[in-house]
Amino acid sequence: MHAIDVVSLTKRYRAALAVDDISFSVPRGATVGLLGGNGAGKTTTIAMLLGLLVPSSGRITVLGHDMARDRFAALARVNFSSPYVALPHRLTVAENLRVYCHLYNVRQVERRIGELTRELDLGAFIDRPAGQLSAGQKTRVALAKSLINRPELLLLDEPTASLDPDTGDLVRSWLERYRAESGCSILLASHNMDEVARLCGHVLMMKQGRIVDRGTTQELLTRYNRSDLEDVFLDIARSRGRHAGPSELGELTEMGERSEVGA
Amino acid sequence: MSSLRRIWGLMYRHLTLFRRSWPRLLDLAYWPVLQMVIWGFTSRFFAARIGNHGAVTVSMLLGGVILWETALRSHLGFAVTFMEEIWSRNLGHIFVSPLRPWELLAALVGMSAVRMMLGVVPAAVLAALLYHFNILSVGPVLILFAINLVLMGWWIALGCVSLILSQGGGAESLVWSMLIGLAPIACVYYPVAVLPHWLQYAALALPAAHVFEGLRAALGQGVIRWDHLGWALILNIGWMALAMLLFTQQFTMARRNGSLMNLGE
């Protein structure tokens, strides 16, 4: 059983097609990157995976639970972090974590908060209101919130956006360690190519709502004859997209389907 | 048990804010107390000119103030607690947690009850101290009056929250104006019979009009109007069912059109 199984997922807002018939799987214990420019459909895809948005068609299975029928059972085993969703800024870090311990039905609340405080080095500001923290501290708190229930699947939307390189590196190191120790699966949406190359075993490239290519970082580099993922990203972004000629798009799709993370 | 924990989790988040911020606590009691002061002196002024019926008039007006505040604070307590989640951009985390929509509503109901008590009790105490009006003199039936008004506050707030879910922040202003806009036909300070005939039908469709008719009967004639209490309860059940239907429909629509993702932006 995969952590995520997505089959023919489509999201249409009246005339606009935000996600167009995508299929992919995230194996257990894998970190998969979801790459694409602004408006590519990454956030919409994550919102559907979290049950925040209902697909127009298609099927999503998360940790064996059909999200259309049984999303709350899945949500108890999943967590999410994004710098674009805040935590109540008048509550202290400890109070915020306590709230989410209750929401996720975590046993031994104070012990879990203590563990996360040690692991993510929150001690210096655990009793400070969340609104008074620096961007780096907020990211660590958001990460602590996302790990409160020891999730089996972690959905991260640009987890290191607006962080300085040092803090970004700290977060990435921590995610690597956490995945190795817990066996957690991670779906990571990011614009940071170095981050994706470092953390993700597999990459899904999205453009205009479709997955236009997929594979391991090395496979993508070889396929596009490039030395870094950023150039691959630019090649895809500058191609004429899904309405491009059959030779261009057909080749991308076929190669994508052959990869391990394929549908 | 898990449900109770999740409901408590959301209530804890809001109660913590009150524990730390005395201006928030003060704000809850401020308007009910101010209303009580203004209406207390006004009713005393008129009572002095009415003569024998003065004391009953004072009781009706002050009882009306306290019970109307019960409805108003219940309504605002429910809706503002929800809006605080929007203002703090926290709904994204809440809606992707295992918290069920009905648990969210239960937490809002819990917070509404707390906020209502913190607002209304000081006003009732003030009425007793300043104007020698003890709301408890209405008798045990007072509890039934209050329950009906609290229920009315909740279903109106639920309707507002439902519209915010689908229409976004633009619908927030409804929260502040909706119940106050219904005050003329709630007949808080005057009998339903005072209204034009056609407007009486609208008034009698509101549980509040029945509650205040019942309050006046209890204070003026010392009788309990079970007919009005029964109608208030039936209407509340009907309106609450409609509000829950609206919430379910709007929540589903918000998950379809993506407005759940954009609330607070």
Q: pLDDT grade, residue A242 (50/70/90)?
A: very low
Contact at CB, B9 and A103, closer than 8 angstroms: yes
Kindly determine whether residue A89 and residue B88, on different chains, have CB atoms separated by under 8 Å: yes
**A10, A78, A102: best mutation site toward chain B, by most B Cβ within 10 Å?**
A102
For residue A19, give the nearest of A29, A30, A34, A4 by alpha carbon. A34
For chain A, the average pLDDT equals 87
**Alpha-carbon dihedral sign for residues B61, B64, B68, B69:** positive
Quote the distance between the C-alpha of residue A93 and its chain's center. Answer: 23
Position A252 pLDDT exceeds 70: no
pLDDT value at A260 more than 60: no
Element (H, E) at B45: helix B22-50
pLDDT of residue B264: 54
**∠ CA(A131), CA(A134), CA(A138), 5° rounding?**
70
pLDDT at A263 over 90: no
Question: How is the beta sheet containing A202-207 ordered, strand by strand?
Answer: A78-81, A153-157, A185-190, A31-36, A202-207, A210-215
Closest-CA residue of A relative to B107 is A103
Decide if B260 and A145 are in contact by the 8 Å CB cutoff.
no
Domains and CATH numbers, chain A: 4-77+152-258 (3.40.50.300), 85-150 (no CATH)
Q: In which residue ranges of chain B is pLDDT below 50?
A: 265
What is the C-alpha separation between B123 and B61, in angstroms, rounded? 13
What Cα–Cα distance (Å) separates residue B161 from each residue in B1, B82, B176? 26, 7, 12
User: Is A99 in Cβ contact with B10 (below 8 Å)?
Assistant: yes
Chain A interface disruption, residue of B5, B81, B85, B96, most A CBs within 10 A: B96
Q: Which residues in chain A are closer than 8 Å to B5, comparing Cβ atoms?
A: 102, 105
Looking at chain A, the whole-number percentage of residues with pLDDT higher than 70 is 91
pLDDT at A250: 34
- Chain A: give the shortest CA distance to residue B99, in Å: 6
pLDDT confidence bin for A256, thresholds 50/70/90: very low
In this prediction, does ipTM exceed 0.90?
A: no
pLDDT tens track for A183-205: 999 999 988 888 898 999 899 99
Q: Are B90 and A85 an interchain contact pair (Cβ–Cβ within 8 Å)? A: yes
Contacts of B16 in chain A (CB under 8 A): 91, 95
Please, which residues 65-124 of chain B have a Cβ atom closer than 8 Å to chain A?
88-90, 92-100
Choose among B206, B237, B243, B233: nearest CA to B78. Answer: B243
B194 close contact with A: CB closer than 8 A: no
Residue A130 near chain B (CB below 8 Å)? no
Distance CA B34, CA B7 (A): 32
C-alpha to C-alpha distance for A78 and A50, rounded to whole angstroms: 8
Cβ distance of A51 and B258 shorter than 8 Å: no
| A48 alpha-carbon distance from chain centroid | 12
